[in-house]
Amino acid sequence: MGLFEKKIFFIVCHDAGGAEIISSWLKKKKIKFFGTITGPAKNIFKRKNLKFINRKNLSEIKKIDLVLAGSGWTSKNEVKAIITAKKFKKKSICFLDHWRNYKSRFYYKKKYHYPDEIWVGDKYAKKEAKKNFKRIKIKLINNPYWDFLKKNKVKNKIQTNKKILIATNNFDEGKFLFKKKLKITDLQYLNKTVNYVKKNFKTKNIFLKIHPSEKKEKYKQIIKKHKYSKIKIETEIDIIKLLSKYTSLIACETNLLPLAKIMGLNTLNLFINNKNFRVVPKPYFDKYLYI
C-alpha cells in the first residue's frame, strides 16, 4: 500500500462512475475506511463486499487522515466533503471519472471548492485536468476499474445471436444543457437509434439501459406510446454481468462506451455535431454513429 498503508480514509461517493473506480481501488489496496456512501454507490460498494461504517455526518472527517471522493453530478456530498476537509486541515483527493465539465463538478453555493489533489485514470483525462486546474497536483494512476474489467473480459463472444443495448442519456434533463444546445430530446434519440438498429442489425433483441438519473417509468411510457413492444428495459446493475449479455452497445458520449469496448462489445457512439460535447476519446469506442 506504500504511502497509504497507515492512513485512515474517509470515502465520499454517490454517482456510479466514481463509485466503481474508487471501490475497485479500495478493494485492490485492501484499505480500511469509513465515509458517506449514498445513491447508486451503495449497491456498488455492497456488491464488492467492502465492509465499512457509513457516516451521515461529514464532521467525522476531523477524525481521519484524508478524504477520497468521486466527482458526480447528482450529489454535492463530494464538494461538501472537500470543504469540510479544508476546515479540519485534512488532505482531500478527488478521482475524475470522465472527460467533461471538470470545474463545474466543484461548484457549490456560488463558489468553486477544489481538492488538494486530483486523480485521473488515463492520459486524455490528465491532459484535460491539467488544462483546467493549473495549481492543483494531477496524478495519473491506472484505472483500477478498467483493470478489473480487462481481467473479466468475455473472450470469443458469440455473434450469431445479436443482442443490442441502447444506453439512454437523459437529454431532457436541463442541467446537462443538451436539449437547449443540441436540439435533441430523449424520444428523438430513441426513435433514431431504434430505426437504425432495425435497418442495420435486423434483430429484435433490443434492450434499454436507463441512465442512473432517470426513472424506468419514463421509458415504459415511451415504449407503450410509440409501440416499441419488442424493446425491453435492462435491469441488471452489475456492469460485468450486464455487458456480458450483449454484442453491441449504442450510446452517446457516456462512460459506458469504454467499459463496453474493454469487454469486447461493438461500440457505437452517437455523433454530436458540437465539438464541445464530443468528449469520449476515440480510442475508447469503435466508431461514430451518424443518424
Q: Which residues pair with 35 in a beta bridge?
A: 11, 54
- DSSP symbol at 8: P
For residues 55-79, average pLDDT? 90
CA distance 285 to 280: 8
For residues 64-88, average pLDDT? 92
For residues 65-83, average pLDDT? 90
Q: How confident is the model at residue 187 (pLDDT cuts 50, 70, 90)?
A: confident
Q: Which long-range contacts (CB under 8 A, 24 or more apart) does 171-178 make?
A: 173/213, 175/73, 176/73, 178/277
Report which listed range, 64-73, 120-129, 201-210, is most confident: 120-129
* CA distance readout (Å), 144 to 26, 70, 117, 148: 9, 14, 18, 6
Supply the pLDDT for residue 227: 67
Q: Cα-flanking dihedrals φ and ψ of residue 128, to 5°?
A: -65, -40
Supply the pLDDT for residue 182: 65
Supply the pLDDT for residue 145: 93
* CA distance readout (Å), 286 to 122, 134, 214: 18, 33, 26
Supply the pLDDT for residue 268: 96
Q: Is the pLDDT of residue 131 over 60?
A: yes
> Residues of the chain with pLDDT > 90: what percent?
52
> Residues of the chain with pLDDT > 70: what percent?
90
Q: Is the pLDDT of residue 1 over 50?
A: no
Q: Are 155 and 195 in contact (CB under 8 A)?
A: no
Q: Are 67 and 90 in contact (CB under 8 A)?
A: yes
Q: Three-state secondary structure along 143-160? A: CHHHHHHHHCCCCCCCCC
Of the listed ranges 85-89, 229-233, 242-246, the least confidently predicted one is 229-233
Instruction: For the chain, give the mean pLDDT.
Output: 87
